[in-house]
Amino acid sequence: MPRLFDVPENVRIRITSKLIRWRERGADLKVGENVTWEGTTTDYYEVFRGERRRLITDHTIALWRGTGIFQTDCDCEVTASE
């Protein structure tokens, strides 16, 4: 299984996250556990809490569908190339 940071940009991927959190105004909100979701890789990275994270867009997490998600390096499944 490839690692997220090794996948080129504009590739559709599937990830199973053990825990999804949303940080807002200094508080962590637990969104879900063991959630499988899909999204499209970008070439944009940021560092948050000392970890490099990649921006994933056009994802299937309903609560933040219009917002990109930053994801740390993890195993992922490539589902399609755009």
**Interval 31-74: pLDDT, tens:** 778 889 999 999 999 998 899 999 999 999 877 778 888 899 99
pLDDT score of 24: 66
Joined together, the tokens standing for residue 40 give 């499209």
- The tally of domains found in the chain comes to 1
Q: What is the pTM of this model?
A: 0.84
Least confident of 11-20, 26-35, 56-65: 26-35
Element (H, E) at 28: strand 27-48
Strands 69-71 and 11-24: unpaired
Q: Other CB atoms closer than 10 Å to residue 14's CB: what's the count?
A: 14
Separation CA 65–CA 40 (nearest Å): 12
Domain that holds residue 63: 4-81
By C-alpha distance, which of 63, 72, 65, 80 is closest to 17? 72
